[in-house]
A and B are shown apart, each in its own frame.
Chain A
């Protein structure tokens, strides 16, 4: 077996140019396919990371995004005083009633505008969200127009550095601190005082209420009780699931489009592989005839050429995955269609994407190499030996 592996690899090396061209072609396809999957995965990872398992969020029924959700003040009060809600050491509930508004900010370095989430929140916000930490500056002072911004927000939007200010609703909002949500959606947000935001935008209601559960397993009973209460019109969801669902539409679209492109792309690569393999077979007709004359069965000849096709696939797959892995350093920012707000995310590589990419490459190689290999195996011994 080892001899066959070496023999097949040597054959590929002899025809350097066509091998290189085929490998690059396959590599390109794998790169595109893997990158698209990484993008969708990156989007999901960001939104899944937004939110934790032991928090629950209250929104208006059917409001799949906070910007269109309306929760009355009284209802917010009801939500935060439920028995399942955890309390801090001072006996007050670990909860935040928040108002979420979309504002327009310019993207840093361009004149394009982005829809940015301004979250009017309450002092318990950081305690509530353990995955978010203040890393620079300080938290905003309640009752003022101070705000803190996420790590991606400070990078991507104009005028969002500590000490600078942004203007909307006829006020200047000064940035006094930066928080890090470790890649979650919050990183693209601005956080301020809920009362101040409500006043500035002349609202009296909240968008959502987020609470910490004493015991995550009590979620179902809380949900049932709240959703069946006739005085309220709310949906209760696990915080993580709520935000994860916001990625579905877009990641679904990216996946579909990516799959279509990759499949069509791969057909092109398979044809390239086929052409190469057919030529390889044609050029080694006498060699094949000799092998068969010596006594190698047809099956062996088939195997040899299939293995060469697999070598091409592995090389192409390796090139593609490596190039795609480089994409992990790229960060993108786009508007999430579900929430209509700007979201920063990256390309996330996962073991399943790597394995899937190699599998894809191997399938391409086998499909492309199969027919030529069959032709090689079927060759007639006498004619093969006679051929120049």
Chain B
């Protein structure tokens, strides 16, 4: 305990230097946490996936549509419990910068496939009875200040023209990391207009969501579904929801790798700041270390002293940095909501941050300790002061 007191007092010797080091480490830890949260945001779709949901898309490309006639055939495949379709709309609300995800769901059945979207029954009923109804996630509602009963106009890109939607209610996400920014309306609203204006495009959906009875059989069932449409004009590719989400992540693979590289570089900076301080501090105290060695303190003791100081500073830096992650990440999540509907601070991120700080605290002490231990006592005593 005495030793801890000595360590603590040593850090107070150069208050400014200690404070700056803690701040420097704190900033680097903050950055590490932010970068890792960026990465986690990319993967949030994957982490939200359910093991008993499959996604069936066109084999040519996920942007291709599939005919609605496929539904019956998929339903008949053993192991399939429920099938519903979703379609990407991709419209513009006033300005392309105001991006948010817009989907056309087949019917209320789709909502049952996604129990993590919580909708009250009155809203659901309104949605089922009004063709141009839309249910909007609370995140997007607050973002644009919409109210239930508002009419929202979107400029279609894939489905050309202007489209008016009536907001009948909102949905909330079951957990912190559920995407509650989506804009969900009815497929028959698109279909009705396509039949009139572009008949060739009627009867087409974006993808199938398939709920299966046994997640362990997902590979077999996926194969069975694809085999059904093999060598037809609309070949399919079925995979687990997790794999489907993963493919989106892989599209931005380069950026994610860059972020991971940056997070390593950041840890490097933490180390440099900590090592720099400890090296300077140790050099100034070499004569003291010599005295302690004279008194009989061993290399292990010196490691405890120097390492302890280094780790205390690193620990405090870690605390500062981790505390800062929360408000800053919140700010970023608002600024970048068009890109990331979910910006989750994961426990894993915080643990990595904490260990990085402490790890750097230890490593930063290595060089000064080695120097202090190797130094001959007589050389150390020769230094005055």
Contact = CB atoms under 8 A, between A and B. Distances in A.
A135 interface: no
A125 interface: no
B17 A104 contact: no
A158 interface: no
Contacts of B272: 21-22, 24-25, 28, 272
Contacts, number: 138
Nearest to B384: A388
A335 B252 contact: yes
Given A17-B279, A28-B268, A202 B160 contact: no
Contacts of B252: 334-335
A382 interface: no
A169 B232 CA distance: 9
A272 B273 contact: yes
Mostly, the B contact residues are helix
A256 B252 CA distance: 16
B60 A275 contact: no
Contact of A279 (B17, B28, B31, B339): B17
Interface string A15-30: 0011001101100110
A305 B34 CA distance: 34
A213 interface: no
B64 to A, nearest CB: 8
B268 A272 contact: no
A335 B42 CA distance: 14
Nearest to B258: A39
A267 B25 CA distance: 10
B251 A334 contact: yes
Of B92, B258, B279, the most chain A CB neighbours within 10 A belong to B258
Name the interface size band of chain A.
Answer: 35 or more
B31 A271 contact: no
A254 B17 CA distance: 35
Contact of B339 (A103, A112, A253, A275): A253
A202 B61 contact: no
Interface string B262-276: 100110111011011
Interface in A298-319: none
A340 B233 CA distance: 23
A206 to B, nearest CB: 14
B63 interface: yes
Given A264-B34, A332-B254, A170 B235 contact: yes
A274 B60 CA distance: 57
B199 interface: no
Contact of A115 (B20, B61, B280, B336): B61
A25 B273 contact: yes
B158 A68 contact: yes
B339 A261 contact: no
Of A268, A276, A334, A335, the most chain B CB neighbours within 10 A belong to A268
B312 interface: no
A64 B96 contact: yes
B247 A112 contact: yes
Interface in B20-77: 20-21, 23-24, 27-28, 30-31, 34-35, 38, 59-64
Interface of A: 17-18, 21-22, 24-25, 28-29, 31-32, 39, 60-64, 67-68, 70, 101-104, 112-115, 168-170, 201-202, 204, 233, 249, 253-254, 256-257, 260-261, 264-265, 267-269, 271-272, 274-276, 278-279, 332-335, 340, 342, 388
- Report, nearest first, the 8 A-B pairs whose CB atoms are least far apart: A335-B251, A271-B24, A334-B254, A21-B276, A112-B250, A332-B254, A268-B27, A25-B272
Given A68-B157, A335-B251, 9 more contacts: A21-B275, A21-B276, A22-B276, A29-B269, A103-B61, A115-B251, A275-B277, A278-B16, A279-B280
Interface of B: 16-17, 20-21, 23-24, 27-28, 30-31, 34-35, 38, 59-64, 90, 92, 96, 155, 157-158, 160, 200, 231, 233, 235, 237, 247, 250-255, 258, 262, 265-266, 268-270, 272-273, 275-277, 279-280, 332, 336, 339, 384-385
